[in-house]
A and B are shown apart, each in its own frame.
Chain A
């Protein structure tokens, strides 16, 4: 029985602007998330280009004012993390997860819409800092006493706007996490047992647990910082005009208690996405499904016990414990690497754009994991902490990992979302530009870090030996920027005249491909019987009886 016969007759969508603004449909909200995140990706990217332009040469030639430079990298990091990568992955989860478990929508559709609309609002709040005398400038980590309201620190409303925006984004995340959990626990189609759920759904589940357990701790830290800054509180301010008596280390503990789990919030769903893509493009099942699930849960659990690896050099944390736990996380991560590699091994590979980006993820994330392991070794970290080595590491995992995963997911699910294929040639051009640009930008940062260049500086001595590497990184940065042009062109031209996708252009395995592209409201008229984690594969190969 062909999958097309499962498709509901016609989709009953109305497509006016008003319908988009008031929608509670998980697919539309998912698309809103994705579009909104791309807008912030470009804004955050512009800040990064500002940073790279300034650093291309020694001297202050572009921003002229170090405080403005501080604002640029602070806003770059904050926008990329809180308004781009986290919401982007939530967007894919929102679109795909309910479809993959055969649900008609999320459990709480209106709360879903509320979670989304908090984000643009928070973005506007955050960026308003530039108009009110200076955006936040204490880095995305906002350490005290730098973040306190006092001379030579963050005076003015920029930092307060930063706090409010992050509180709003955190609330949005928490409501979204609860929504995902209830959806996954309660709304699965008949036959969709936990161990038949697609891997993406598993990663969304673990991510949501992290969101619900870790994000409120960040909220509490933000509120305490706000009280310190505005009502004369003494949580984090060790000294200064208010009298102090607080603990700067306390901020770091509370902040990283959230922000280490948050790095998994930023990467687990991307891992889930490539775990959907690799099997489809190598025509094999995922190698070691259960091992992957347990590794994901293991990463989530261990993620709560390593936060102080960001604080080795403070001398205030128990080094052996946190170092050991950090190395331990490499174990489940390594398990996943094996899952992916053995999925590819002897597969019938089709090198379409989604697979290329997924392979980009694999290789770049591997480098990011290895250079991270260096920093997990305490003595090494004492040398590398706060140098460009860390900047290299975090971009290899966040960009090389998550962003490449997002691109893979975009090329993979765009046909489902729009009914049209993206252009393969443009996709490959984008991949090559992005891959080359990415490595040209961030690989030299390893050497810069080893050569002692600190992060968060606007200027450096011309005889430090850092000139060429910085110039290379800047050229790479602009190459990355250029790689987004074929992407934008591709999206708009394909929306208009792309090849029609049909229900299941990739011959995929999971339920979202069992309905039309785009799916109708409430997703399915009929579902195939679910007997494994690959219901569509079963259907194609006659392993399922359709009643």
Chain B
């Protein structure tokens, strides 16, 4: 994940700029830059990836009348009833939503050429992301059911687990941005990487909101 982004964001222009046609290729077309367009398309593919998982979830769910209490074991069914206590997950949701705002604050800071503002905001975002991951790990440890406990357990851990993996990937990207920001590599004119990573972070946030609504409310 991290290497991908770094390549997407920092090497995208490389050879083009050194080429005899560098000027031509850029044309007067303007519009969004290559790395940002690349990131948007990558997010499209990620949306389809999660669509596959969500489709599986709803398809399995639709085949049970008493979802999620589908186990023969009454104790497990108690644990499955996430709707009864959504508050912990709601806390995680709030953390992630706040981190989206701080991330965007970092973007607007660098647009104003405010490098300290950028690193500060990205630092906070990274910490919030890590807090989310730790919170999720703690949640997993205390939920009382496992991946192989009925299709509910399987879908729950697969969906939230892959989301967690994406948060982790996003956190790695944020670390790279933080590192490069501290090294003074960004300016109001050169910060495609920041824009691209912030898009990714918002995407991860939106997936979580969809997950939370599906698993705890719907």
Contacts and interface: CB of A to CB of B under 8 A. Distances in A.
Most chain B C-beta atoms within 10 Å of own C-beta, residue among A24, A181, A187, A524: A187
B34 A233 contact: no
A182 B25 contact: no
A504 interface: no
A398 interface: no
B15 A104 contact: yes
B46 to A, nearest CB: 7
B42 interface: yes
B15 A220 contact: no
Given A108-B11, A227-B158, A233 B147 contact: yes
Contact of B25 (A104, A175, A228, A257): A104
Nearest to A228: B154
B185 to A, nearest CB: 18
A527 B60 contact: no
A224 B59 CA distance: 13
Interface in B40-97: 41-42, 44-46, 48-53, 55-56, 59-60, 63, 70
Interface string A268-293: 00000000000000000000000000
A108 B36 CA distance: 12
A263 interface: no
B93 to A, nearest CB: 23
Interface string A152-185: 0000000000000000000000110111011001
Main secondary structure on A side of the interface with B: helix
Contacts of A216: 45-46, 48-49, 52
B59 A102 contact: no
A174 B1 CA distance: 13
A227 B154 contact: yes
* Interface bin, chain B: 35 or more
Interface in B95-120: none
Given A104-B16, A108-B8, A186-B29, A234 B154 contact: yes
A213 B21 contact: no
A122 B15 CA distance: 28
Nearest to B162: A223
Nearest to A101: B25
Contacts of A102: 21, 24
A98 to B, nearest CB: 10
B148 A178 contact: no
A110 B11 CA distance: 7
A245 interface: yes
A110 B45 contact: no
Given A219-B52, A245-B70, A245-B150, A250 B60 contact: yes
A213 to B, nearest CB: 5
Most chain A C-beta atoms within 10 Å of own C-beta, residue among B7, B21, B59, B63: B21
Contacts of B50: 220
A111 interface: yes
B56 A250 contact: yes
B42 to A, nearest CB: 6
B19 interface: yes
A197 interface: no
A522 B20 contact: yes
Contacts, number: 158
A214 interface: yes
Contacts of A182: 34, 37-38, 41
Given A108-B7, A109-B15, A217-B52, A189 B25 contact: yes
A212 interface: yes
Nearest to B11: A110
Contacts of B37: 181-182, 185-186
Contact of A235 (B16, B22, B25, B154): B154
Most chain A C-beta atoms within 10 Å of own C-beta, residue among B22, B41, B55, B148: B41
Contacts of B60: 234-235, 245-247, 250
A93 B45 CA distance: 20
A175 B41 CA distance: 10
A40 B122 CA distance: 46
B53 A220 contact: yes
A215 interface: yes
A22 B108 CA distance: 38
Contacts of A188: 27
A532 interface: no
A6 B75 CA distance: 78
* Interface bin, chain A: 35 or more
B12 A107 contact: yes
Contacts of B29: 186
B52 A215 contact: no
B62 to A, nearest CB: 10
Nearest to B63: A247
A268 to B, nearest CB: 18
A233 B20 contact: no
B59 A247 contact: yes
A368 B187 CA distance: 57
A231 interface: yes
B48 A24 contact: no
A242 interface: yes
A434 to B, nearest CB: 36
B56 A220 contact: yes
A190 interface: yes
A233 B11 CA distance: 40
B151 interface: yes
Contacts of A181: 37, 41
Interface in A206-230: 212-221, 223-224, 227-228
Contacts of B52: 216-221, 254, 257
B55 to A, nearest CB: 7
Given A109-B11, A219-B49, A254 B55 contact: yes
Contacts of A522: 15, 19-21
A296 interface: no
Interface of B: 4, 7-8, 11-12, 14-16, 19-22, 24-25, 27-29, 31, 34, 37-38, 41-42, 44-46, 48-53, 55-56, 59-60, 63, 70, 147-148, 150-151, 153-155, 158, 162
**7 closest cross-chain pairs (CB), A and B:** A220-B52, A232-B148, A216-B49, A522-B19, A104-B19, A216-B48, A233-B154
Given A110-B7, A178-B41, A525-B20, 17 more contacts: A103-B21, A107-B12, A174-B45, A182-B38, A187-B16, A189-B21, A190-B27, A215-B45, A216-B46, A216-B48, A216-B52, A217-B49, A219-B52, A233-B158, A246-B151, A254-B55, A524-B21
26 contacts: A103-B25, A104-B21, A104-B22, A107-B12, A108-B8, A109-B14, A111-B8, A177-B41, A178-B38, A186-B31, A187-B16, A189-B24, A212-B45, A212-B48, A216-B45, A216-B49, A217-B48, A217-B51, A232-B147, A232-B148, A234-B148, A235-B155, A242-B148, A247-B60, A250-B56, A253-B59
